Chain A
Amino acid sequence: MNNTLFGFAAGDTWLHRLSGATKLLAFIGISLIAMASYDTRFTAAIVVMSLVLFKMAHIHWRQIRLVVKLILVFSLLNLLTVYLFSPEYGVSLYGTRHLLAGSGYFTLTQEQLFYELNLALKYVVTVPLALLFLITTNPSEFAASLNKLHLSYKISYAVALSLRYIPDIQHVYHQISQSQQARGYELSKKAGPLHRLRGAAQVLMPLIFSSLDRIETISQAMELRRFGRDKHRSWYMDRPFGAADWAVIAGTGVIIAIGLSLFAVNGGRFFNPFR
């Protein structure tokens, strides 16, 4: 059952050993500054850094292939729409106009290309960071780290539990879908899309009912062990902050500081090479 979109993969690199809360803080902090900044040099550096981290976490291409492809398609679509709606936005942004091709409404300028490159980098930069966090943080630590950031532990645990049950639900779905195929629903590629959609709906009803049963059982089991009695709980897997954690948080602080100081240097969020 290794076909989930994003699953925790056990490992023993320094990234795995970091506390979940550290990783969550670093992920949120770096993502925010990378989203805010339009300084190409800065975002490109962060992209390079996250690729290095990927290497360090021993993450393989096949683990992230599907997600990366999905995101590539969506960001390309997005970039295209941005161009279609406003092909001269880069010109108004950077205040100069270097025409490459075209005339009338659909022109292609260096400014627009540069603006869209910045946009593309933004999409690219947050995804590896998010994947890195999800793949190196085990679900119970994930819950613990959300809780550390003062999110209610009930919600944190619900998130972690649902992540954990994705493979189970996939398994049940598979079972039900096969038994429905045996009954005669064609769910394979041979059937038309409408037909398949109707078939999938038939799988959904038994899936929902059997999931509801499970949810009732597990919530009773959790209540019987006092889940939800107190405002706070402790976590068996809680790790005390180590030197590496402090170093990562400090590193995150430095990156954010650089990002902010670049705002001052550039006189705004945009780095402008045309002036």
Chain B
Amino acid sequence: MAEPIIQFDHVTFQYDSQAEPTLQDVSLTITRGEKVLIVGPSGSGKSTLGNLINGLIPHAIPGKLTGKVTVCGQDVAASSVFDLSQHVGTVLQDPDSQFVGLTTAEDIAFALENDGTAVAAMHERVAAVAATLGIKGQLAQSPQDLSGGQKQRTAMAGVLIDNGQVLLFDEPLAALDPATGKSSIELIADLHHRLGVTVVIIEHRLEDVLTQPVDRVLVIDNGRLIADVTPAELLHGTLLPQIGVRSPLYLQALTAAGIDLAQVKGIESVTTVAAPNLAQRLAEWSAAEARPTKPAAGEPLLRVQGLRFGYDKQTQIFDGLDLTINRGDMVALVGRNGVGKTTLSQLLVGFEQPQAGTMTFAGTDLASLSIKERADRIGYIMQDPNQMISKNLIRDEVGLGLDLRGVAAAERDARVDEALRICGLYEFRHWPISALSFGQKKRVTIAAILVLRPEMLILDEPTAGQDWRHYTQMMRFLERLNRKHGMTIMLITHDMHLMLEYANRTVVLGDRGILLDAQPASVLSDTAVIKAASLAETSLYQLAKRFGLDPYRFTSQVIAHERRVTGDE
């Protein structure tokens, strides 16, 4: 029964471009039919591990490999990406960037086309796989036009068509909104169950993956396999905070209430978690904690009235949108993919022009200002820093906006230094940008905007693709900007934790304008809004419900407690 399907025997791998091995002496075995989660912080080597399973390493990505990887009886080093792909189906992080077919059907058929399968057989197989995944109605559409969940299903269909024995998912949650992420994890569980395949999931969002049963968790840190345990063993232990992976929120609540996790039963899920007198202890703790306070609202800074906009005549994105952002707000703008969150920011900074409506900023009509002039007041930071950076050196990049505005050299240097200090980049100021990490690059783009001294910042997904440690650093930094420097900040995000922890206000955007404008913790208590905006309930909410506590109050208290505990880092 326990037949090994993936085996690593003392595997060490070093990329040609790196000075140190990314994986060091890793040995592990995954048996047929298992469902395994590989977890670890960014740069730990977990994606490298995945690429060794599908053969991209060493066949497409060069480096030095020692030890032996065996997948489905084949020595990976002696096999090829092509042959391994018959056994291992890989679903990459962002479905959008890997679609090749013009229609969904063609994309699903891609592997079969490359095998030279006869046309009639291909149509049959595509129809069957599409039916399994529930995307039969979308076959003629372009994959780019599908919803997030359908895209994920199309990507899965494209590898399921091979009938491989192993399904490998590389950060399947990264590009999805909370509700879609949740249903994707359910779909993976369903496929695992129905098809009896071996499933390997690489992900740092532990809590979301564990909403469905997992047989085993492999923990990678600094290129080493440091734990090979069941989910329960992992959650009972103290490993997670040490390596910078966030433990589930419901367990943080239990810890906050002074409950020893070692004595907790049914620890894998919020629906089963149990401890002696749990309900009573949570209730007592909540009663003793301070009530959540409502933050005071500042004076209005940005006022949007009757905004109308659509990219074409058929689809109206905004039809009379009203929104006021107050000075000192740290507001989270949330909503389903494609609802217009990014469009709204682009209207504010002048990248797009509204069809009707007014936007005033500190009393000035934004329509009278050019893109450049608006940038002096509202800074917009795109999701991908690589799309914003145009210089080689940090100082040049950060000072660019000032140079172009003809600011005198002395003042320019002073302002650049100030921005670099605020962003924690001062010691790197003479470095080339290419030597920085993703998170540091993001800070460079923020510094380059801060030198212009805007009164408000809009950030598109500021923490996307970053692990918990980097996420916390970035958010603490933004919070400091907000509190110490009085910067008004609007965050566009899918991340419910981020919204709960850092925003003082949440605006939920729906198809017909603003669905809800309230305090973050109360948004997640509104089931109708959650559904309409494709958000997901957090486990704190579920825990509160289960034990009859007020979800809003309980959520706020746990988050506040956790911030106090980790605040001194």
Residues of A within 8 A of B (CB): 138-140, 161, 164, 172, 175-176, 178-186, 202-203, 205-206, 209-210, 213-214, 217-218, 220-230, 232-238
Contact A210 B375 (CB under 8 A): no
With a cutoff of 8 Å between Cβ atoms, the chain B residues found around residue A230 in the complex are 114-116
Known: A224-B90, A226-B85. A234 touches B122 (CB 8 A): yes
Residues of B within 8 A of A (CB): 54, 56, 60, 80-82, 85-86, 90, 92, 94, 97-98, 100-103, 105-106, 109-119, 122-123, 126, 158-159, 346, 349-351, 371-372, 374-375, 380, 382, 384, 386-390, 400-401, 403-405, 448
Please give the distance in Å from A111's CB to the nearest CB on chain B. 50
Q: How far is the CA of A224 from the CA of B162 in the complex (A)?
A: 11
Please give the distance in Å from A154's CB to the nearest CB on chain B. 11
- Nearest to B349 among chain A residues (CB) is A182
Contact B119 A225 (CB under 8 A): no
Contact A179 B382 (CB under 8 A): yes
With a cutoff of 8 Å between Cβ atoms, the chain B residues found around residue A233 in the complex are 113-116
- The SS class assigned to the A binding surface is helix
Contact A238 B375 (CB under 8 A): no
Q: How far is the CA of A232 from the CA of B115 in the complex (A)?
A: 8
Known: A181-B372, A182-B375, A224-B85. A139 touches B102 (CB 8 A): yes
Contact A183 B448 (CB under 8 A): yes
Please give the distance in Å from B415's CB to the nearest CB on chain A. 14
- Nearest to B392 among chain A residues (CB) is A205
Known: A214-B97, A218-B100, A236-B106. A224 touches B387 (CB 8 A): no
Known: A178-B371, A206-B388, A234-B119. A220 touches B404 (CB 8 A): no
Please give the distance in Å from A52's CB to the nearest CB on chain B. 29
Contact A236 B126 (CB under 8 A): yes
Q: Which of B106, B384, B400, B401 contacts A237 (CB 8 A)?
A: B106
Please give the distance in Å from B384's CB to the nearest CB on chain A. 7
Tally of A-B Cβ pairs under 8 angstroms: 139
Q: How far is the CA of A229 from the CA of B122 in the complex (A)?
A: 18
With a cutoff of 8 Å between Cβ atoms, the chain A residues found around residue B103 in the complex are 140
Known: A183-B401, A232-B116. A226 touches B82 (CB 8 A): yes
Other contacts beyond A226-B111, A235-B113: 17, CB < 8 A: A181-B371, A182-B351, A182-B374, A182-B375, A183-B401, A210-B386, A213-B386, A220-B56, A220-B60, A223-B85, A226-B86, A227-B110, A229-B80, A233-B116, A236-B112, A236-B119, A236-B123
Q: How far is the CA of A236 from the CA of B382 in the complex (A)?
A: 38
With a cutoff of 8 Å between Cβ atoms, the chain B residues found around residue A205 in the complex are 390
19 residue pairs from A and B, CB less than 8 Å apart: A140-B101, A175-B382, A176-B387, A178-B346, A182-B351, A183-B401, A184-B401, A210-B384, A217-B97, A221-B98, A222-B110, A225-B110, A225-B114, A226-B115, A230-B114, A234-B118, A236-B101, A236-B119, A236-B123
With a cutoff of 8 Å between Cβ atoms, the chain A residues found around residue B113 in the complex are 233-236
Report the 8 A-B pairs with minimum CB-CB distance, sorted nearest first.
A184-B404, A221-B98, A182-B375, A225-B111, A236-B109, A229-B82, A226-B114, A178-B351
Please give the distance in Å from B71's CB to the nearest CB on chain A. 13
Contact B372 A184 (CB under 8 A): yes
With a cutoff of 8 Å between Cβ atoms, the chain B residues found around residue A224 in the complex are 54, 56, 81, 85, 90, 92, 159
Please give the distance in Å from B352's CB to the nearest CB on chain A. 9
With a cutoff of 8 Å between Cβ atoms, the chain A residues found around residue B122 in the complex are 234, 236
Q: Which of B105, B114, B374, B404 contacts A185 (CB 8 A)?
A: B404
Q: How far is the CA of A175 from the CA of B388 in the complex (A)?
A: 9
With a cutoff of 8 Å between Cβ atoms, the chain B residues found around residue A184 in the complex are 372, 375, 400-401, 403-405
Please give the distance in Å from A183's CB to the nearest CB on chain B. 5
- Nearest to A176 among chain B residues (CB) is B387
With a cutoff of 8 Å between Cβ atoms, the chain B residues found around residue A178 in the complex are 346, 351, 371
Contact B372 A182 (CB under 8 A): yes
With a cutoff of 8 Å between Cβ atoms, the chain B residues found around residue A228 in the complex are 82, 114
Q: Which of B380, B389, B403 contacts A182 (CB 8 A)?
A: B380
Please give the distance in Å from A29's CB to the nearest CB on chain B. 26
- Nearest to B110 among chain A residues (CB) is A225
Known: A217-B98, A223-B56. A202 touches B390 (CB 8 A): yes
With a cutoff of 8 Å between Cβ atoms, the chain A residues found around residue B401 in the complex are 183-184
- Nearest to A238 among chain B residues (CB) is B119
With a cutoff of 8 Å between Cβ atoms, the chain A residues found around residue B403 in the complex are 184
Contact B110 A179 (CB under 8 A): no
Please give the distance in Å from B206's CB to the nearest CB on chain A. 25
Contact B98 A236 (CB under 8 A): no
Q: How far is the CA of A226 from the CA of B404 in the complex (A)?
A: 49
With a cutoff of 8 Å between Cβ atoms, the chain B residues found around residue A227 in the complex are 100, 110, 114
